[in-house]
Amino acid sequence: MVTLNPELVMRARRDAGLAEVILRARVVTADGAGIVWALRLVGARLPGRVTGIDLAEALAERAAAAGDPIFLLGAGPGVARAAALALTRRHPALRVAGWWDGSPQPRDDAEAARRIRASGARLALVAYGAPAQELWIARNLPALPGVVALGVGGALDMLAGHIPRAPRWMRAAGLEWLYRLWRQPWRWRRMLALPRFALLACGAAALVWLTRRPDTGILAIRDPATAIQARNAGVVAGESGETIAHRGV
């Protein structure tokens, strides 16, 4: 499962391997007001964003009701444990089968996979930040049969109470990125991708409306061969599984 935002899209346009990971995801959500806006430019309509933390909390609630254990992986030292305690306070029936800081480096893959398998978890929340968490999932999911893996970025820090979330009104207005920039000024370099993404989205929309051709997708513009191969294999999100975001991204 991938929660897609404009920064990840722009990173994937420079990284064909990451683009393929996104295109092959079984579920892709629109995490970011920019994704929702870009899709609306080409005529797609979404109810709104589905962020990593919202999805993590919803899945934890569903896991508690179903009796399915979960595993928390990543974030800083002690964060996963604190997030586990916070989740079990909210959902007393939830079984957090394990947690581990680990690292997104391939040298730790075998140990992380061993711990998740031994825990019996059905859901793994992976908090290594994008794109490391998406690449980790792509490498390790084949070794985790029966497990759903979701990259959640800073969600574990938020659940643990280490990072406050933007006020509800800012989230509703699509300004959560501005709040996070204010709280974490070092993110300004990442935000440089936003104006480039906006120009790209406008260009893609103009092409759709002027030519009346179907939207080929922002990821497909730079590396059409990768997108075509994925579509021919029937693995583009929206064709191989449940999708919340528009398949064209």
* Strand 96-100 to 2-4 pairing: unpaired
Q: Is residue 204 part of a domain?
A: no
Position with higher pLDDT, 20 vs 179: 20
C-alpha distances out from residue 30 to 45, 57, 74, 91, Å: 11, 16, 22, 26
Report the domain count for the chain.
1
Q: Is residue 110 part of a domain?
A: yes
Residue 229 predicted with pLDDT over 50: no
Position with higher pLDDT, 228 vs 115: 115
Q: What is the pLDDT of residue 33?
A: 85
Distance separating alpha carbons of residues 179 and 213, to the nearest angstrom? 37
pLDDT digits (tens, 9 = 90+) for 98-130: 999 999 999 999 999 999 999 999 999 999 999
Position with higher pLDDT, 229 vs 65: 65
Domain with 112, as residue range(s), is 51-173
Q: What is the pLDDT of residue 204?
A: 83
Q: What is the CATH number of the domain that holds 67?
A: 3.40.50.2300
Q: What average pLDDT does the segment 139-156 reach?
A: 95
3-state secondary structure the chain: CEEECHHHHHHHHHCHHHHHHHHHCCCEEECCHHHHHHHHHCCCCCCCCCCHHHHHHHHHHHHHHHCCCEEEEECCCCHHHHHHHHHHHHCCCCCEEEEECCCCCHHHHHHHHHHHHHHCCCEEEEECCCCHHHHHHHHHHHHCCCCEEEECCCHHHHHCCCCCCCCHHHHHCCCHHHHHHHHCHHHHHHHCHHHHHHHHHHHHHHHHHHHCCCCCCHHHHHCHHHHHHHHHCCCCCCCCCCCCCCCCC
Q: Is residue 164 part of a domain?
A: yes
Q: Is residue 144 part of a domain?
A: yes
C-alpha distances out from residue 156 to 8, 52, 137, Å: 19, 10, 17
CB atoms within 10 A of CB 165: 19
Q: Is residue 81 part of a domain?
A: yes
Position with higher pLDDT, 210 vs 140: 140
| Residue 167 pLDDT level (bands cut at 50, 70, 90) | confident
Q: What average pLDDT does the segment 170-181 reach?
A: 75
Q: Is residue 38 part of a domain?
A: no
Q: Is residue 167 part of a domain?
A: yes
Residues facing residue 4 across a β-bridge: 30
Q: What is the pLDDT of residue 105?
A: 95
Quote the mean pLDDT of the chain: 82
Q: What is the pLDDT of residue 32?
A: 83
Q: Is residue 247 part of a domain?
A: no
Position with higher pLDDT, 46 vs 118: 118
